[in-house]
Structure 1
Amino acid sequence: MNDGLKVGLHYQHRFTVPANKTVPSLYPESAEFVEMPEVFATGFLVGLLEWACILALKPHLDWPAEQSVGTHIDVSHHAATPPGLEVTVDVELIGVEGRKLAFSVEAHDGIDLISIGRHERFIINREKFDAGVASKTSK
């Protein structure tokens, strides 16, 4: 982690919603999901918000040895977004406590504000993290 990782860091990410990021695609093994409207799924929205934060952080980490994992998400999902619309995600680093990071996040689909909230991430050493996961898997 370098010294450039400071409160106030802004990043913007754009993503055009494809058909495979809609509610029916979230859990295709669920008949209930498959029958739902073809709009941007909240689960994929959360992933998009995380992706924007990862991209904001990447230039400030010793990537790929240092990465970050999501630890908390508190966001709304206000409006339905059909496939083909471009979603713009704006993130701002609002807190740094050692390796714990807090972001304000916001997403807009060009017509509506679709999400606003807060996301927390934690910077990890990938090798140590993988060792911990392997240890848990072997139990």
Structure 2
Amino acid sequence: MSTPHFDDLIGTTATLTRTVTPEQSAKAWGNGLDVLATPVLLWLSEIAAMKVIEDRMQDPAMSVGLAHDSAHLAPTPTGETVTVTATLTAVDKRRLTFVVEARDDQATVLRGTHTRAVVDRDAFTQKLADRT
């Protein structure tokens, strides 16, 4: 697999905006609260990071999440809008680091980093098949 180059994308930002649905609430995850669930917020930060590099990804390359180091700082009630931003800040061969932040209408609700790796889709799919 020829690994795409990302060095020139350092500093590039992608943003996504979502209205929090009942299915995305902590209540749906067994917490009982009608606020955006932390796992969903982390997932949204991954999607924002993927958007930064999506134009560079060509088969068989794909990116996978490696790590999160983020703090969920404030609750976002169901029905409110959250805006998630990811900025590519570092490239180490196939390891990409993003600063992520999310805001709702009142506050910053998430701040941290997310790390992704660029891998070969076919090799990854084969490893998965070997495990099942």
TM-score (norm 1): 0.86
Which of residues 105, 108, 127 in structure 2 aligns to 1:110? 105
Equivalences for residues 1-139 of structure 1 within 5 A: 1-2=4-5, 6-26=9-29, 33=30, 36-62=32-58, 64-137=59-132
- CA shift at 1:42, angstroms? 0.3
Alignment: residue pair count: 129
Gaps of 5+ in 2: none
Inter-partner Cα distance in structure 2 for 1:122 and 1:102 = 9
| Distance of 2:8 and 2:57 partners within structure 1 | 8
Divergent runs of 4+, >4 A: 2-5
CA distance in 2, matches of 1:114, 1:79: 5
Give the deviation of 1:49 after TM superposition. Answer: 0.5
Report the Cα distance in structure 2 between the residues aligned to 1:13 and 1:70, rounded to whole angstroms. 18
- 8 Å CA contact 1:8, 1:94 repeated in 2: yes
So what's the TM-score if we normalise by structure 2?
Answer: 0.90
Question: Identity of counterpart residues, as a percentage?
Answer: 29
Amino acid at match of 1:37: L
CA deviation vs aligned residue, 1:54-98 (integer Å, no higher than 9, x gap) = 122111111x53211110101011111111111111111011011
2:89 partner letter: I
Q: Distance in 1 between matches of 2:19 and 2:102?
A: 12
Deviation at 1:4, TM superposition (A): 7.0
Corresponding letter in the other structure for 1:47:
W
SS in structure 2 opposite 1:127?
Answer: helix
- Does the aligned pair in 2 maintain the 1:58–1:67 contact within 8 Å? no
Q: Secondary structure at the match of 1:40?
A: coil
Equivalent position amino acid for 2:18 in 1:
F
- RMSD after superposition: 1.5
Q: Distance in 1 between matches of 2:74 and 2:62?
A: 31
- Equivalent position SS for 1:118: strand
